[in-house]
Structure 1
Amino acid sequence: MTPADLSLTVLHAVRRAVDEGALIVDVPSSVKVERPRGGGVGDYASSVALGLARPAGRSALDVAAILEERLRDRPGIRAVDITGPGFLNFTLDGDSDGVVVRDVLAAGARYGCSDALSSDRVRLLPALEPRAAVLTETVLRLLRSQGADAAISPGGERLAVLPASVDGTTVGARGDAGDLPDDVIRWAFLRPAAHDRVLPGAPLLVQHERNPLFRVRYAHARARALLRNAAQLGFAPAYEESVDAAGLLSLLGDHPAVLLSAARLRAPGRVARHLEAVADALLAFQHTVLPLGDEKPSAAHRSRLALAEAAGVVLAGGLSLLGISAPDQI
């Protein structure tokens, strides 16, 4: 069971409790699961009961107990514990981290795509203003990645967005902004929330760690380079044993939920910010992947390489959904 699967399982438990009358509350659109913090146990935790307590008119512990009853025997969940004021803590069956890495590598660029919105028919209003046009086109791509029937149509939903200028230059009808590349313009438009000003373009041209677009694309290039270097050393990726990289693994597991949330909320900036977090975690992790000195490749190295490859796949897939290229070399 992946974190995205767990999130949907908890959401279904909330819906079941509401349908059965055990809780009187609006069912949230999504449920967040994350690694347990201090005092937590197991593989993942959720604060959903705390968020539902006040609207339900119950204590968080009562809500957690209602949900625990509907979660304890679900496939893939070994145990559900309630800690603190009402946190739900989950211990999963089997190798949950390995499942995430293998799922990413099996799905490739389609990792995170789903049919969660297959019953949704979305029509968006055509946009002429450049930033609105880029936002609309990207939201359509995100919606379709989640199975929605999404298209442009007169009379459709209008996406509210602050008009664009890059470095003080108003972007023209074709997206022209001086000599700025298309990838830079798209990141400058999409990375902020739609109601915020676009990012200045000039800093996004600089190949430096302070440039978030460079970091994301460079992290993808590093993942590809690690695979080439490993091949030269005679070994290939294979997730054979647990890797001490909880932050990176958690981010990869969260990717499907991020895409779904971005589609539902018409917020591609969520994807961009998530990719930044994945890139930063990968760049911090990359130095552990290859053998050092006379060290021979081992199961640990093969597993770390598989994790790095999976991170690169998520970065490439996310950038593709934003309409931005992911070069193999920088």
Structure 2
Amino acid sequence: MTPAKLAEVVLAAARAVFSERDLDHAALPEAATVERPRNPEHGDYASTLALQLAKRVGLPPRELATALADQLGRTPGIKSVEIAGPGFLNIRLDAAAAGQLARVVVQAGREYGRGDRLAGDRMNLEFVSANPTGPVHIGGVRWAAVGDALSRVLRAAGAEVGTEYYFNDAGSQIDRFARSLLAAARGEPAPENGYVGAYIEEIAAEVVARRPEVLGLDDAAAREVFRVEGVALMFDQIRSSLSRFGVRFDTYFNEKDLHDRGELDLALARLRQEGHVFETEGATWLRTTDFGDDKDRVLRKSDGEWTYFAADCAYYLDKRERGFDRIVIMLGADHHGYIGRMKAMAACFGDDPDRNLEILIGQLVNLVRDGQPVRMSKRAGTVVTLEDLVEAIGVDAARYALARYSSDSPIDIDVELWTRATRDNPVYYVQYVAARTASVSRNAAEVGLTRGEPDAFRPELLDHEKENELLKALGEYPAVVASAAELREPHRIARYLEESVAQAYHRFYDNCRVLPLGDEEVTDLHRARLWLNDATRTVIANGLDLLGVSAPERM
């Protein structure tokens, strides 16, 4: 019996009690919840439903709990129900009901853990969006790992998600990039506030190879060539690097398109229609202070030039008009000040900023070896890049390391730890379980042990304490996925795999032999344990897939 099924049973018991006692069914919730108690001695699952309902219907909690316990005690698959404290229900399942979960998981396969908690939500998830003026640095790599994992988790919870990379190909930083390329091509020093590093020389050389006439053009014409060609080359490199990291976006959106299509004018007209635009000192402003911003924001300067904020407004409106109900933007630690103005901007469009816009802030990442920061990238000149991180610890370890921490916490990635083939390396610890379960399945096949037909599975044989612990851990997975999606915290998946499934499987493996010894006859217990072994691999593989990490069959 899965926790979700047990929750349905508890609610059905409450409905029966309410009917017997002629209580108001309107007081019943749409769904009940059951949780694993912290102390296993208190039972397999616990419910607080009696405490929640007692006050609504005017009954003492323990009286209602007693009625619920009596009703649940008559339910097949429930071994016992005990009442604790003021009205907690501690529920124990019989071995057959608990063991059925192994078959449920194996038969569901990749679908196990997927749900509909966020069904109906249309979400646009924007992350990374690094300027095309250099390689993706380690802060952007964190968002690549977390953002991609979050998109997978949200989809697993039933949301419709479009992932997006906002490609800033307009503005002063692009001008500095073009001037830096031109200087490199001419063998001149980088301009003030320009970009440096071997990658600038590489791109400049490639532009010259493609367009050899560029060196004979005047400065303005040459800069334009380097701007167009250089940005295209840089972004190709960024997209290629992210693809090798396992991150591919549904949409790559160019900022320049907003300008070329006149979308800033359309956004301004919409904001003006909503009544939040005003003119002063020759400039056009948005009165964001009406919605909690610390100051009003300029949309168009007195010289007619649009501001970055105006482009932000146009881009937000574009996303909303593409049918997305919720806009989620993932930003770096230096963007805290961005939240207030963006929330106010959404309100100026007539949206609910708490419903239609989410801004997630990620903290800094450091790559360290022996407690010291890893040297800066020679190619990028000033930062540790995606390639540096992958070269140091590999794609799987990098994705797992970046996704296993709450994104609002700074992290140090220790090269020595994340390349170690020991259990203190978190990704190795989890992937080792994936490989071990696969090895057990291969070895079982070699000795003629198969799971057999589903109808022949005898779940009641899985009555060992360590089998029960593993079953309960596997049963938590759908709720963990739903919680990770609702809270936008994919790190919950990683911690669950490490702290619940991997630990429980190692204890099961050490105490419950799956394969027959020597000439020992294959029994139904061996088959039942093979179901449980394979269910564990399913959950590990599904969870790792949500993080964009492989579940190896051999290590």
Q: TM-score, normalised by structure 1?
A: 0.82
Contact residue 100 and residue 249 of structure 1 kept, 8 A: yes
Distance across 2 between alignment mates of 1:30 and 1:193: 28
Structure 1 residue 160 corresponds to structure 2 residue 361: yes
Q: Aligned-pair distance for 1:94?
A: 8.6
Q: Aligned-pair distance for 1:189?
A: 1.0
Q: Aligned-pair distance for 1:261?
A: 1.1
Q: What per-residue deviation string (whole Å, max 9, x for no partner) do you get for residues 41-65 of structure 1? A: 6xx3214348858998997536746
Q: Aligned-pair distance for 1:105?
A: 0.8
Provide the secondary structure at the position in 2 that maps to 1:200.
strand
Structure 1 residue 217 corresponds to structure 2 residue 228: no
Contact residue 27 and residue 53 of structure 2 kept, 8 A: no
Distance across 2 between alignment mates of 1:131 and 1:263: 18
Per the alignment, residue 48 of structure 1 pairs with: 48
Provide the secondary structure at the position in 2 that maps to 1:281.
helix
Contact residue 8 and residue 31 of structure 2 kept, 8 A: no
**Amino acid of the residue matched to residue 102 of structure 1?**
R
Distance across 2 between alignment mates of 1:303 and 1:317: 21
Provide the secondary structure at the position in 1 that maps to 2:548.
coil
**Range moving further from structure 2, 82-91 or 53-62:** 53-62
Q: What per-residue deviation string (whole Å, max 9, x for no partner) do you get for residues 162-190 of structure 1? A: 13233235875646424221111111111
Distance across 1 between alignment mates of 2:388 and 2:70: 54
Per the alignment, residue 131 of structure 1 pairs with: 142
Provide the secondary structure at the position in 1 that maps to 2:392.
coil
- Cα distance, 1:79–1:96 mapped onto 2, change above 3 Å: closer
Provide the secondary structure at the position in 1 that maps to 2:413.
coil
Per the alignment, residue 226 of structure 1 pairs with: 440
- Cα distance, 1:237–1:127 mapped onto 2, change above 3 Å: same
- Cα distance, 1:199–1:308 mapped onto 2, change above 3 Å: farther
Distance across 2 between alignment mates of 1:38 and 1:98: 17
Per the alignment, residue 290 of structure 1 pairs with: 515
- Cα distance, 1:97–1:78 mapped onto 2, change above 3 Å: closer
Which protein shows a greater Rg? Answer: 2
Per the alignment, residue 402 of structure 2 pairs with: 189
Distance across 1 between alignment mates of 2:426 and 2:30: 32
- Cα distance, 1:73–1:250 mapped onto 2, change above 3 Å: closer
Q: What per-residue deviation string (whole Å, max 9, x for no partner) do you get for residues 93-125 of structure 1? A: 893233211111111122111223213333334
Contact residue 143 and residue 263 of structure 1 kept, 8 A: yes
Per the alignment, residue 322 of structure 2 pairs with: none
Contact residue 81 and residue 89 of structure 2 kept, 8 A: yes
Distance across 1 between alignment mates of 2:64 and 2:153: 33
Contact residue 393 and residue 418 of structure 2 kept, 8 A: no
Distance across 2 between alignment mates of 1:246 and 1:106: 19
Structure 1 residue 261 corresponds to structure 2 residue 483: yes
Distance across 2 between alignment mates of 1:215 and 1:37: 25
Contact residue 132 and residue 163 of structure 1 kept, 8 A: no
Contact residue 99 and residue 471 of structure 2 kept, 8 A: no
Q: How does 1:264-279 map to 2 (within 5 A)?
A: 264-276=486-498, 277-279=500-502
Q: Aligned-pair distance for 1:133?
A: 3.1
Q: Which runs of 5+ in 1 are unaligned?
A: none
Contact residue 216 and residue 275 of structure 1 kept, 8 A: yes
Structure 1 residue 147 corresponds to structure 2 residue 158: yes
Q: Which runs of 5+ in 2 are unaligned?
A: 19-23, 130-139, 165-314, 317-326, 328-357, 377-382
Contact residue 192 and residue 269 of structure 1 kept, 8 A: yes
**Amino acid of the residue matched to residue 250 of structure 1?**
K
Per the alignment, residue 122 of structure 1 pairs with: 123
**Amino acid of the residue matched to residue 263 of structure 1?**
A
Which residue of 398, 411, 427 maps to 1:198?
Answer: 411
Q: What per-residue deviation string (whole Å, max 9, x for no partner) do you get for residues 15-69 of structure 1? A: 9x9x94547xxx799834226957646xx32143488589989975367468x39
Q: What per-residue deviation string (whole Å, max 9, x for no partner) do you get for residues 136-176 of structure 1? A: 22111111112112224654222232132332358756464
Task: Report sequence identity in percent.
Answer: 33
Per the alignment, residue 524 of structure 2 pairs with: 299
Contact residue 76 and residue 92 of structure 1 kept, 8 A: no
**Amino acid of the residue matched to residue 122 of structure 1?**
M
Q: Aligned-pair distance for 1:257?
A: 1.0
Distance across 2 between alignment mates of 1:197 and 1:59: 48
Per the alignment, residue 81 of structure 2 pairs with: 81
Provide the secondary structure at the position in 2 that maps to 1:270.
helix
- Cα distance, 1:292–1:93 mapped onto 2, change above 3 Å: closer
Structure 1 residue 5 corresponds to structure 2 residue 20: no
Distance across 1 between alignment mates of 2:159 and 2:12: 20
Contact residue 125 and residue 158 of structure 1 kept, 8 A: no
Contact residue 48 and residue 88 of structure 2 kept, 8 A: yes
Contact residue 217 and residue 327 of structure 1 kept, 8 A: yes
Q: Across the two proteins, how many residue pairs are aligned to each other?
A: 324
Contact residue 117 and residue 143 of structure 1 kept, 8 A: yes
- Cα distance, 1:39–1:130 mapped onto 2, change above 3 Å: closer
Distance across 2 between alignment mates of 1:9 and 1:189: 39
**Range moving further from structure 2, 185-194 or 88-97:** 88-97
Kindly report the root-mean-square deviation, in angstroms, between the aligned alpha carbons of the 2 structures: 3.8
Q: How does 1:20-99 map to 2 (within 5 A)?
A: 20=25, 22=27, 31-34=33-36, 37=39, 40=42, 44-49=44-49, 52=52, 61=62, 64=65, 68=68, 72=72, 81-85=81-85, 86-90=87-91, 95-99=96-100
**Amino acid of the residue matched to residue 188 of structure 1?**
A
Distance across 1 between alignment mates of 2:104 and 2:113: 10
Q: Which structure: greater helix fraction? A: 2
